[in-house]
Structure 1
Amino acid sequence: MSEEFIREVDEDLRHQQLATFWKSYGKYIIATAVAIVLFVAGSQGYKKYTESKYLEVADQYTKALENIQSGNQQQALAALKALADQDVEGYKVLSAMQRAAIHLNNGEKTLAVGILENLSKSSGVSDFYKDLASLQAATILMDEATYEETTARLEPLLERGNEMRYLARELLAMSAIQNGDTEKAKVLLRELSEDLETPEQVKFRANQLLTVIE
């Protein structure tokens, strides 16, 4: 058995490991972010609204989710779009994310990214939610974007003090791997692993991924 053949097999196995890793952990990034929005939506909602008004908006969102689960996508999209006119910031964000998810599941990636990009530029949304939308858009486009394109999207999130910086750096490392630059990925992942402020889940994934590419 030739050395070249063994090298090719080893490379194929590493690619399979990377694919499995991203399938297992990649979506966790967005799931975590959405959980944060749900929490903040509730806490901020009560500050801005009476309990009855807030519960009304929450009920509208719940009904939209029920339509999604029942397969009534058009009704769900209409209900979610109506929530964009409500002055409860968290639910405006969640409605946009759900609409993007519906389009993404239907293979309408351009529409999904468009919704998120609009959210990231909205004047009525805080920077935290804008950054979250940018992170999700970059995640959707990662498979087809160059490392430079992903960097351009994530650059504002990488600044020190930004709440999304660790997730952004993790995604940037995945983009480097996706585009064949494992050395750049190693640098980014080691930085995440050695940074004392890196969240434990992000640090865990960084260490796991390092074992695959080193």
Structure 2
Amino acid sequence: MSELFNEVDEELRREQLKKLWDRYSLLIIGAAILIIAGVAGWRGYQYYEAKHAAEAGAAFEAAATLAEDNKHAEAEAAFTKLATEAPRGYRTLARLRAAAELATHDRDGAVKQFDAIGADSGVGQPEQDLAKVRAAGLLVDTAPFDEIRQRLEPLTAAGRTFRHSARELLAQSAWKASDASAARQWVDLIMTDAETPASIRNRAEALQALLPPVAKS
């Protein structure tokens, strides 16, 4: 008797499944097709991104080689192209390198490019800070100390990635402006920061030896 009930239950289940299939088969098939297409599309996108990144990496290396070979105009053109066509991770680096190549023959144009990167909120703060330091480095021999201070002082705070370079440039600019007090301020900050790189510390020590002694009260 139980076998009969089992057969009846099985038949009912098959009938219910058939009704469900007849009613929703198109939806089920459509959903399956969408899932398969979605997975295939995502895999294709991943492949495209990886291929694009590999091509950009190779192009970046080729441009860097041009720069090393002192082919600055060609390197600048290559980096400029990458800055507009490469994946996001390479664009800012390419912009920075393009500006550096431009600096070999057009300082003012390079400063403008570095300033544009420094003002671009779409790039990370370390890259912005680096661009500001590079611009100030191009101007430190000619610009007034007040301009260099305006450019760099915000970058000297603890925790800023390029604070050591910014402090060194400020000390140099103050020294060139014959502002011994300001030069000493930045040299002291360099010397008292335990994280100051050795190369910058050594140059700061050399500058410190040139400063006049502090007047006694």
Which among 175, 178, 190 is matched to residue 177 of structure 1?
175
Question: Distance between the aligned counterparts of 2:82 and 2:167, measured in 1?
Answer: 32
Aligned to 2:200: 202
Is residue 79 of structure 2 the alignment partner of residue 64 of structure 1? Answer: no
Q: Distance in 1 between matches of 2:184 and 2:138?
A: 22
For the Cα contact (< 8 Å) 2:52–2:87, is it kept in 1?
no
Paired residue for 1:167? 165
TM-score normalized with structure 1 length? 0.68
Distance change >3 Å, CA 66–CA 192, structure 1 → 2: closer
In 1, Cα distance between the equivalents of 2:157 and 2:189? Answer: 14
One-letter code of the match for 1:164? F
Correspondences of 1:84-103 after superposition (within 5 Å): 84-85=83-84, 86-89=86-89, 91-103=90-102
CA distance in 1 between counterparts of 2:69 and 2:149 reads: 38
After TM superposition, give the deviation of residue 69 of structure 1 in Å.
4.7
CA spacing shift, 1:87–1:149, aligned 2, 3 Å:
same
Amino acid at match of 1:176: A
Q: CA deviation at 1:139?
A: 0.7
Structure 2 residue aligned with 1:39 = none
Q: Deviations over 1:79-125 (max 9, x none)?
A: 21121122333x3233223222222211x111111111111122331
- Count of matched residue positions in the alignment of Structure 1 and Structure 2: 164
Opposite residue 149 of structure 2, the aligned amino acid is T
Name the residue aligned to 1:155: 153
Match of 1:211 among 204, 209, 212: 209
Matches of 2:120 and 2:83, distance apart in 1? 11
- TM-score norm. by structure 2 comes to 0.67
Letter in 1 for 2:88: V
User: Against the structure 1 CA distance between its residues 204 and 68, is the aligned structure 2 distance closer, same or farther, given a 3 Å change threshold?
Assistant: closer
Q: How far apart are residue 189 of structure 1 and its match?
A: 0.7
- After superposing on structure 2, the runs of 4+ consecutive aligned residues of structure 1 that deviate more than 3 Å are 49-53, 66-75
Residue type matched to 1:171 in 2? L
Contact 2:144–2:177 (CA under 8 A) maintained in structure 1: yes
Which runs of no fewer than 5 residues in structure 2 stay unpaired? 1-47, 213-217
Q: Give the C-alpha shift of residue 72 in structure 1.
A: 4.8
Q: CA deviation at 1:212?
A: 3.0
Gaps in structure 1 of 5+ consecutive residues: 1-48
Match of 1:187 in 2: 185
Distance 1:172 1:78 in 2: 32
- Tell me the equivalent position of 1:41: none
User: 1:23-102 residue pairs with structure 2 within 5 A?
Assistant: 51-69=50-68, 72-85=71-84, 86-89=86-89, 91-102=90-101
C-alpha distance in 2 between matches for 1:195 and 1:128: 19
Q: Show CA shifts across 1:30-54 (max 9, x none).
A: xxxxxxxxxxxxxxxxxxx965433
Deviation of residue 142 (structure 1)? 0.8
Quote the Cα distance in structure 2 between the aligned partners of 1:192 and 1:67.
36
One-letter identity of the residue aligned with 1:93: T
Deviates most, 188-197 or 124-133: 188-197
Higher-Rg member (1/2): 2
- Relative contact order higher in (CA < 8 Å, ≥ 6 apart): 1
Alignment identity in percent? Answer: 30
SS at match of 2:196: coil
